[in-house]
Amino acid sequence: MIEGKIGSGNRQIGDRFKYLKKSISEYSKIKEEIKTGLMDSDRIQKQKNKIMEYLGATDGQWDDYKWQMKNRFTDEESIGAILGLDEEEKIKIKRVGERYRYAVSPYYLSLIDPGNDMCPIKRQAIPSIMELDDKGELDPMDEEGWSPVELVTRRYPDRLIIKVTNICGMYCRFCQRRRMIGECDSHETKEKIAGAIRYVKDNAEIRDVLITGGDAFLLSDSTIEWLLKELRKIRHVEIIRFGSRTPVTLPQRITDELVSILKKYHPVYVNTHFNHPMEISCESKAACEKLADAGIPLGNQMVLLKGINNNKFVVRKLNQSLLAIRVKPYYIFHPKTVRGTSHFWVSFETGMEIIESLRGRTSGLAIPTYIVNGANGLGKTPLLPNYLLYIGRDKAVLRNWDGVIFSSENKR
């Protein structure tokens, strides 16, 4: 058995605390360089002013999510005008747009740093010529194959998802459902959604329903309330969840009216989708806090993406900043092999290094589960560093977050 480091009784008490400080000294030096949107609010405000002037918008219009949706940027010329793109860049966007649709809310566009070609917000929102690489599949999760009725995907015994729309505030360039975006925005009809609800009602083992899309919060308030009311009539439905990136890409959607509807049907959970600290702005913070104040638990599902967050310190800063706005880091998703997204793919070793770097160096609340989705709909599989080295009848041998190996009695 190897002992030593901080776990050793030979280390003096004062040395232990010096060692603890040293163990995060590298992050302490760099963390202020990893900016959140809150830290970069002056630059974002300038971009906001530029976009508002370009669109002839008032503050009231900017704060209206319906105005934001109507004024999404959907062509290379308007995006080029805001970001200062040259003709070659605009031609590339046009080429990609001929195959894959794009749309960016004015709000999310304001987060982009035009002076940074590798801006993590830009990479998520603006089409890249690399999307024309045909590696991958359109439906690697085989959602269609796991659909017992229209709109429903069911992979697990006690829960399922209902896809209610193909509309989003911003079409992410790594989206797993880009095949559903199509050329036109459309919500599913109430008749189709009612059919999905009947399936839930007819299968008494379903206790957890996730409403997603597209973005579930882009349904109208009245439709959301109708949907919640219908699900709450089903006695065996215990939990209702919404999957929504609107707190990140369209925070204006989190209105007082929406929140008042959601809180009537507790327990309601919301999982959102921050991928980089720069997405935590004054407006996204306010949206999350409004939901949290209504007693709605918030979780974050980050997708691990090359060039955006495949860095252990970026993820640590993101997760700690999320906790400060009352969002619990829930999952890190290994990127799915969706066609046209290969430039975002990373290795499993990268994900494991990030998870390993969090344990012991930040609070457990800031440590999500690293998930790989099995191909063809085999479901979520967690990947964990190996802390259990040996287990026998009388003892187990383990290692701690800092690599110290120790034994523990295996009592029976």
The CA distance from 328 to 318, in Å, is: 11
Three-state secondary structure call for residue 187: strand
Give yes or no: residues 182 and 329 share one domain.
yes
Give yes or no: residues 230 and 112 share one domain.
no
Give yes or no: residues 254 and 324 share one domain.
yes
Q: Is residue 136 part of a domain?
A: no
Q: What is the pLDDT of residue 318?
A: 98
CATH assignment at residue 336: 3.20.20.70
Give yes or no: residues 244 and 159 share one domain.
yes
Q: Is residue 383 part of a domain?
A: no
Number of folded domains in the chain? 3
> Which DSSP string corresponds to 105-174?
-HHHHHT--TT-TT-HHHHHHS--GGGG---SBS-TT-TGGG-SSTTEE--SSSEEEEE-BS--SS--TT
12 — pLDDT class (breaks 50, 70, 90):
confident
Give yes or no: residues 27 and 87 share one domain.
no
183 — pLDDT class (breaks 50, 70, 90):
low
> Is residue 11 predicted with pLDDT exceeding 80?
no
179 — pLDDT class (breaks 50, 70, 90):
confident
- Of the three residues 69, 92, 126, the one that is the final residue of a domain is 126
Over residues 265-284, the pLDDT tens digits come to 999 999 999 999 999 999 99
Residue, of 346 and 138, whose pLDDT is higher: 346
> Is residue 83 predicted with pLDDT exceeding 90?
yes
Q: Is residue 138 part of a domain?
A: no
Q: What is the pLDDT of residue 6?
A: 43
Give yes or no: residues 260 and 171 share one domain.
yes
Over residues 325-354, the pLDDT tens digits come to 999 999 999 999 999 999 999 999 999 999
Give yes or no: residues 297 and 336 share one domain.
yes
Over residues 42-60, the pLDDT tens digits come to 999 999 999 999 999 999 9
Q: What are the strands, taking DSSP E only, across 229-383? A: 239-243, 268-272, 298-303, 328-333, 369-374, 379-383
- Of the three residues 64, 98, 126, the one that is the final residue of a domain is 126
Of the listed ranges 60-69, 120-129, 226-235, 385-394, the one predicted with least confidence? 385-394
Q: Is residue 377 part of a domain?
A: no
Q: What is the pLDDT of residue 185?
A: 85
Q: Is residue 186 part of a domain?
A: yes
412 — pLDDT class (breaks 50, 70, 90):
confident
182 — pLDDT class (breaks 50, 70, 90):
low
- Per the prediction, the chain carries an average pLDDT of 93
The CA distance from 240 to 208, in Å, is: 6
Give yes or no: residues 282 and 323 share one domain.
yes
The CA distance from 215 to 167, in Å, is: 6
Of the listed ranges 11-20, 195-204, 273-282, 401-410, the one predicted with least confidence? 11-20
Q: Is residue 131 part of a domain?
A: no
Over residues 271-323, the pLDDT tens digits come to 999 999 999 999 999 999 999 999 999 999 999 999 999 999 999 999 999 99
Question: What count of Cα atoms within 13 Å lies in the side-chain half-sphere of residue 49?
Answer: 6
Domain range for 95 is 41-126
> Is residue 166 predicted with pLDDT exceeding 70?
yes
> Is residue 143 predicted with pLDDT exceeding 90?
no
Give yes or no: residues 16 and 117 share one domain.
no
3 — pLDDT class (breaks 50, 70, 90):
very low
> Is residue 4 predicted with pLDDT exceeding 90?
no
Give yes or no: residues 26 and 151 share one domain.
no
Q: Is residue 267 part of a domain?
A: yes
Give yes or no: residues 28 and 88 share one domain.
no
Q: Is residue 165 part of a domain?
A: yes
The phi and psi torsions of 276 (rounded to 5 degrees) equal -150, 145
The CA distance from 201 to 285, in Å, is: 36
Average confidence (pLDDT) over 111-129: 96
Residue whose token pair is 């009725």: 149
> Is residue 5 predicted with pLDDT exceeding 60?
no
Give yes or no: residues 343 and 204 share one domain.
yes
Structural contact between residues 302 and 274, judged by C-beta atoms closer than 8 angstroms: yes
